[in-house]
Structure 1
C-alpha cells in the first residue's frame, strides 16, 4: 500500500495577512505630499469635473479610474486622503488577487507567498497604490479576473459565478485604461482554444472537457465576452450627462475621438522611454522631487533592481516548461507577459513611459516566484529564500524615495540613482 499524497494547505490566511500588511504600509503618510503630484494634476481636475458633471475633460482615457477617484473625493473630501484612498484599496486587492491566482494555478504554497512578497516589494505596486492614477484600477481588475478564472478551472463547480465575477472585473479593467484590452481578451481566447483541443464535436454546446467542465463555450462567451463589454459600456454612462463635451454621436464616435487623442503626435518628453529600456530596468521616472511639506521629498518609479532582472531568466524558464513540459501555469504566465508587453511593442502611441510596464512587470514577478519554487523543489532552498529576503531588503533601502519620506537634502537622490538613466 502507498501513502496518500499530501494535500497542500491553502495559505488563504497568509495571503490576507500579507495584503493587509501591505495596505497598512501604503496608508502610512498617504496624505503626503499634500499637493497633487505627477499625473494627479490631470486626473484630479477630471474627477472634480465628473462630480460636478460640468466639462468632460481628459477624454483620451476611459472613465472608471476617474470615477473611483471622484468617489473617494465624494466620500472623504477633496483632500489627499480622498484622492488616494481607493488607489490604496485597489493596490491591496491587486496583491491579494495575484496570490490567489498563483495558488489556484499551482497549488504551491511557497510560490503563492513568494509571489506576494515579490510583487509587494517590486516597487511598481507600492508607488501606484499611493497616487491617484488610473493604472492601479486596471491592474486590480485584471488581477481579480485572472484569479477567478484560475479558480474556476480548479473548482469547476463554482465556474459560473466565478466567470461572472471575472467578466465584471475585465469590464472594469478596460474601463480604467485601454492597456487592459489585449489581456482582457486572453481568458475568452484561452477557453476557446482549450475547448477546441478537447476535441468536442459540439464545440459551442458541449459541457465536457477543459478548461471548465460543465460549462459550454457559448455560456463562457457570455461571461467572458458580452458581460465585460456591457460593463465597459456602463462605465461611460456619466459621459452622457456632462454639460459640455458630452458623448455626442454615440459611443462608437466617442471611441474614435479617444483613439485620435491617444495616437496624436505629441512633443517629446524627458521621461519617455521604450520597451527594451523597461525590460532592462534602464529608465526611471521621478514622480516627485522637490521641497514640499517642510522637507525635500521624492517618489521614484523604477523596478526592484534585483527581481526585475532575475525575472527575465525566470520568464524563459516558464516559457520552456510551458511549451516543452506542458505545465499550464508556467506557460500561462509566459503568454500573459508576452501579450501585455507586446501591446506596447506594436501600439500606435508615439510617446510611452515606464509606468506602462506596470502590468508586464507584475507578471514577470509572478514568473520569478514560480521559478524560485522550482529551485526550492530542486534542493536550492537557501537560494530561493535568499532572493525573497534580498527583495525585501532592497525595498527597505529604497523606501524613502518610494514613499515621499523626508530626505537629507537636495542631492539625496544620488543615494539611489545607481545609473545615470535613473536620474
Structure 2
C-alpha cells in the first residue's frame, strides 16, 4: 500500500534492470549447442512430456519439465528452446529481488544494488542458461515472497487476492522441486510472527483463514500441475494413483545413489569447496567450459552480511533484518536434514540469491558510514564477473589447460 510517506514505485528502473538482465542471460544462449550436465535428464523428459507419451523422470514433479517443453514448443527442439524459459525465470528473480528490497526499505538505490548483485552472481547467470529445474523453483519462491509482502501492506480489498496469489506461487514452486515445500511453512510462521508484532499487517485477514488458504491453495495448485499425466498414452495417472505416486517420488528422491565425482556435503557449499564443471570439452569448434561457481564477493561476502543482519535484527529487535537473515538460514539449513544420499553445489542456488538480499540490506543499514563503499563493492562484484565470464559462459578457450587460470582453490579443478 502506498502512502504519502512512501515514494512512488521505481517501475521504470526495475524494468530497465530486468531488460538488461534478460539481454545478458540470452546473449549466446545457444552456446554450446549440445545438452549440458543435467539437461541430459530434463530435455529428454520434456520431449516425452510434449508428446504425452509415458511417465519419465518420475523423481520430480512435472512443472519444471513442462516449462522446458514450453520453450521447445515455441522455439524448437534446440539449444534455444531448451534454455529460453530458464532465462525468463532468472529475469523474474532479478526483478523479484528488486521488488522485495524496495518494499522492505523504500529506497531505489538499495533495490538496485540487490538486483545487480543477483545479475552478477555466477550461480544465477549459469542457471539462467541451462535447462534445469532449480531456476524455475527459485523464481516461484521469490515471486511468492513478493506477493505475500505486497499483501501485507495492501488495502483490505486487495489483501486476499495477493495472499492467494502468493499461495499459488508457492504451490508452483513445490510442483517444480520438492525442496520448496518448507517455504509454505516459513510463510505461515512469518505471518503469525508479524501479525503478533503488527496488527495492521495483512488487514482484514484473520490467522486461521489465512493459514487454511495458504495450505489449501498451495496443495491444490501442486496437485493440479499433475493434470498432463492423466493423458499419457501409456500408463496414464488416475485419481487413485495420485497419492501413491507421491510416495513413489519420495522413494526415488531418497534412494541410495552411487558416488559422483562432483558430489559435496551441504556444509561445504557456502565455502565453495567443490564447484561443478557443467561442461569442459571441445565443442562447437573450440574448448569450452562452464564452471558452476558463485561470485566470491557475493558468496563469501554475503555470509558476513547474513551474520550482520542477524546481529542487527537481534540487537534492534528488527523483524525485517531477522527475516532477511532467516531467508538464507531457512533455505540452507533444510539441506542438513533432507534425506538425500548425494549433495551437489547447485542445491545452494536459492540460498545464493538470498545472500544478495542480505548484502543490499547491510549496505542500506550502513549507508551513512559506508559512503561510496557500496559502489566500490559493486565494482568488485562486476570485475569478478568479467574476469570469470569465459568459464561461466562457455566462451572459446585457447587450449585444454586454460581453466587453470581461474582455479583459486585446489579443490576447484
Look up the SS of the partner of 2:181 in the other structure: helix
Separation in structure 2 between the aligned mates of residue 26 and residue 230 of structure 1, nearest angstrom: 33
Separation in structure 1 between the aligned mates of residue 193 and residue 109 of structure 2, nearest angstrom: 30
Flag the 1:71–1:31 CA change in 2: closer, same or farther, 3 A.
same
Cα pair 1:375 1:384 within 8 Å, conserved: no
Give CA deviations for 1:335-392 in whole Å, capped at 9, x if unaligned. Answer: 1111111110111001010000001111112101111122223x21122221111101
1:407 to 385, 388, 397: 397
Deviation of 1:156 (Å): 4.0
- Is 2:204 the partner of 1:187? no
Moved more, 57-66 or 306-315: 306-315
Counterpart position of 1:238: 228
Flag the 1:217–1:298 CA change in 2: closer, same or farther, 3 A.
same
Give CA deviations for 1:167-212 in whole Å, capped at 9, x if unaligned. Answer: 12111111111111112321122213333556xxxxxxxxxx2431
Give CA deviations for 1:143-162 in whole Å, capped at 9, x if unaligned. Answer: 10001111222334432222
Look up the SS of the partner of 2:290 in the other structure: strand
Give CA deviations for 1:99-129 in whole Å, capped at 9, x if unaligned. Answer: 1011112212222111111111111111111
Cα pair 2:153 2:203 within 8 Å, conserved: no
Counterpart position of 2:292: 301
Counterpart position of 1:114: 113
Counterpart position of 1:279: 270
Give the TM-score normalised by structure 2. 0.95
Deviation of 1:222 (Å): 4.5
Counterpart position of 1:323: 314
- Is 2:82 the partner of 1:80? no
Cα pair 2:147 2:163 within 8 Å, conserved: yes
Separation in structure 2 between the aligned mates of residue 351 and residue 328 of structure 1, nearest angstrom: 35
Deviation of 1:82 (Å): 1.0
Counterpart position of 1:18: 17
Separation in structure 2 between the aligned mates of residue 7 and residue 18 of structure 1, nearest angstrom: 21
Look up the SS of the partner of 2:396 in the other structure: coil
Counterpart position of 1:177: 177
Give CA deviations for 1:241-290 in whole Å, capped at 9, x if unaligned. Answer: 22334436422211111111111111111101112211112221010111
- Is 2:370 the partner of 1:380? yes
Counterpart position of 2:350: 359
1:256 to 231, 247, 254: 247
Cα pair 2:53 2:234 within 8 Å, conserved: yes
Separation in structure 2 between the aligned mates of residue 405 and residue 106 of structure 1, nearest angstrom: 38
Look up the SS of the partner of 1:410 in the other structure: coil
Alignment RMSD (CA, Å): 1.6
Give the TM-score normalised by structure 1. 0.93
Counterpart position of 1:201: none
Separation in structure 2 between the aligned mates of residue 71 and residue 312 of structure 1, nearest angstrom: 37
1:371 to 362, 365, 368: 362
Counterpart position of 1:92: 91
Give CA deviations for 1:282-307 in whole Å, capped at 9, x if unaligned. Answer: 22101011111111111111111122
Look up the SS of the partner of 1:303 in the other structure: coil
Q: What stretches of structure 2 of length at least 5 have no aligned partner?
A: none
Counterpart position of 1:337: 328
Moved more, 187-196 or 125-134: 187-196
Counterpart position of 1:347: 338
Cα pair 1:8 1:109 within 8 Å, conserved: no
Deviation of 1:233 (Å): 0.5
- Is 2:136 the partner of 1:137? yes
